[in-house]
Amino acid sequence: MNNYFKTIKIALFVSAISFCLWSCKDLTEININPNGVSEEDANPNLLLPTILAGAGSKYNDLNFTDLGGVVQYTQLDAWFDSHNDYEWTGGILSWDAYYGFLRDNELMRRRSEELGLDFHHGVSLVMRAYLFGLITDLWGDAPYTDALKAEQGGVQYNFPKFDRQDVIYKGIIEELKQANTIFSKPNGRYDVLASADIYFGGNVAKWRRFANSLALRYYMRIAEKENTFAKQGIENMLAHPADFPIITSAEDEVLMSFMGNNASDSWPSNTVYDASGSNFRRMKMCATLVDRLQALHDPRIAVWAKKVEIPIEVRTTEPSGTDKIVNGVRIVSPDVVKGIAVDVDAQYVGLPPSVSKNPSAYNLNPSPGQTSMNPHVSYLNDSYKAAKGGILKARLLAASEVSFILAEAAWKGWVLPESAKAYYEQGVRNSLATWGKEDAYNVYIQQPGVAFNNTQAQIMEQKWISNWSTATQAWFDYRRTGYPQLKAGPAAIRSQLPLRIPYMQNEMSVNQKNATEALARIEKTAYSQADNENSAWSKSWLLQGTNKPW
């Protein structure tokens, strides 16, 4: 373990140097530090953990903090405007970090080819596809074919064009096919430093499954726009399992553990390095998820949520003005809650989405405000106070996601080895296994609403539940299918959920010509008029003409 930490620290140091050198390529005059490490000498084993750790941590932040509110997993009751109401400013608008990881990744790709390191070459293709796929999922059209080539000089590469989404999606699927081929040799044929691979410890077979499962994600992503292409791609992969192995169980899903040494490499809501506990305290379970989990008698609720500390009970037998706590229960008379929405569930209470501009006051909170402690709404499970360990992992691709992709493909009538029902049930089982509740499968799968009824809505609802802590994938599925049928709350700045991240202003200024051309391809909607084309409620190529999600 000590060697692992040393590898990470060295990698971060080398990456910082290589990033600075790379950035200087954009300047007319290049200053070279004689004590630094040149790109020509960069060691792929030192670049690898930096790329994997950076991408995993950034993706986890996006899921857990920025977009968890959009798909109504969580809500904040302080500093909530972005999370609850979609008033996006600052960091969420910038793709700089993703392109930063891609620059390091491109250096690793070049060096791995020069040194004949097939493992690192294959990983670089998978991570390139992962990051470019995430960028186009979030923003729409984006620099791709001309990106990462600034060292070649010229306006074309210093100010790269924005490629259409269909070009990017098909391009990354092709790169994943290349990675699958590179990873197809016997395991002993690769030069791997296991400690540098913080996802799989150098397990080539797992990287191959990752590549192919990621291809399934993107085939299904574009199925509404490129049906024949997606159908043939998925059918071909499933017809040749030896050539295209995929993730089928929780043991093979793509996870990144947190080291927990400091605030920057720990779980975002931890109270170990956040002495005030603010990041944990202000995050609450969202009522949309809590209510559905309770209706389905879903065992995962106990893993993710904490029971309310003090339930509320409205008693008609109490005299007017009663408001007291007896044996851990807050008892109030009807006049105290007249005209106020109160959730009296004795176990779990979620904060409704965008409920108001003062969400901390919800459910008779006795101390509303930025530093409040609300005993009448469910916090996250205490596990989320830790800095590392247990369920606290960045989840880049889950086994349940793969199963639900195949369930949806079979539901569409595509020719696959198993039925939609079989894949759906496998998805439910895989998700329960991921969260330590596999023993509950036999009872849960028979629950009304869970037992398979052969509808896309049900497949997508279970996929939404399983995507807890991977909110981006739930958001992308909602946009594509309209399921689950989420509605914005009364305090949100629009009456529908957003559809994309707007381009940031510095990109609009620096790369104005290409950004303007990209915006001309975006479709305005009834909800984007106030923002013009560059709106979170405009439709990129992926949604144009689909009538989804609204």
Cα distance between residue 68 and residue 188, in whole Å: 41
Domain boundaries, the chain: 2-72+89-242, 281-385
The least confident of 237-251, 439-453, 498-512 is: 498-512
Q: Give the pLDDT confidence of 178-219 residue by residue, as tens digits.
A: 999 999 998 788 999 999 999 999 999 999 999 999 999 999
Amino acid at 245: P
pLDDT at 29: 39
Per-residue tokens: 441: 């499968």
Residues written for the chain: 550
Q: Over the stretch 386-443, which tens digit does the pLDDT of each residue have?
A: 999 999 999 999 999 999 999 999 999 999 999 999 999 999 999 999 999 999 999 9
Average pLDDT of the segment spanning 3-32: 41
Residue type, 104: D
CA angle, residues 495, 499, 505, in degrees to nearest 5 = 105
Residue 37: per-residue pLDDT = 54
Percent of the chain with pLDDT over 90: 86
Cα–Cα dist 453/459, whole Å: 9
User: In the predicted model, is pLDDT for residue 270 greater than 90?
Assistant: yes
Q: Determine the pLDDT at residue 5.
A: 39
- pLDDT over threshold 90, residue 370: no
Mean pLDDT of 329-338: 98
Q: Are the CB atoms for 538 and 521 separated by under 8 Å?
A: no
pLDDT for the residue numbered 372: 79
Q: Which residues contact 344 (CB under 8 A, 6 or more apart)?
A: 311, 312, 313, 314
pLDDT at position 40 is 78
The domain defined by 2-72+89-242 carries CATH number 1.25.40.390: yes
Share of the chain above pLDDT 70, in %: 93
Residue 360 CA to residue 371 CA, distance in Å, equals 9
Instruction: Look at residue 550 and tell me whether its pLDDT is greater than 80.
Output: yes
Q: How confident is the model at residue 154 (pLDDT cuts 50, 70, 90)?
A: confident
The pLDDT of residue 11 is above 80: no
Pairing of strands 254-257, 74-76: unpaired
Taking the C-alpha atoms of residue 26 and residue 151, their distance in angstroms, rounded to an integer, is 7
Q: How far apart are CA 485 and CA 498, in angstroms?
A: 13
Summary mean pLDDT of the chain: 92
SS (H, E, C) 148-174: CCHHHCCHHHHCCCEECHHHHHHHHHH
Place 300 in a pLDDT band, splitting at 50, 70 and 90. Answer: very high
What pLDDT was estimated at residue 189? 87
Confidence band of 25 (pLDDT split at 50, 70, 90): very low
Q: Taking Cα atoms as reference points, which of 339, 245, 327, 289 lies closest to residue 461?
A: 289
Q: What is the pLDDT of residue 20?
A: 39
SS3 letters across 489-549: CCCCCCCCCCCCCCCCHHHHHHCHHHHHHHHHCCECCCCCHHHCCCCCCCECCCCCCCCCC
What mean pLDDT is predicted for residues 327-343?
Answer: 97
pLDDT in tens, 442-452: 999 999 999 99
* pLDDT top residue among 529 and 547: 547
The pLDDT value given to residue 532? 83
Q: 112-119: long-range contacts at Cβ-Cβ below 8 A with a sequence spacing of 24 or more?
A: 112/44, 115/44, 117/44, 117/191, 118/182, 118/185, 118/189, 118/190, 118/191, 119/190, 119/191, 119/192, 119/202, 119/204, 119/207
Strands ordered across the beta sheet of 323-326:
312-314, 329-332, 323-326
Consecutive H or E run containing 313: strand 312-314
Least confident of 2-6, 402-406, 515-519: 2-6
Check whether 375 has a pLDDT greater than 80.
yes
Residue 549 has pLDDT above 80, yes or no: yes
Please tell me whether residue 419 adopts helix, strand or coil conformation.
coil
| pLDDT per residue as tens digits for the range 157-167 | 889 999 999 99
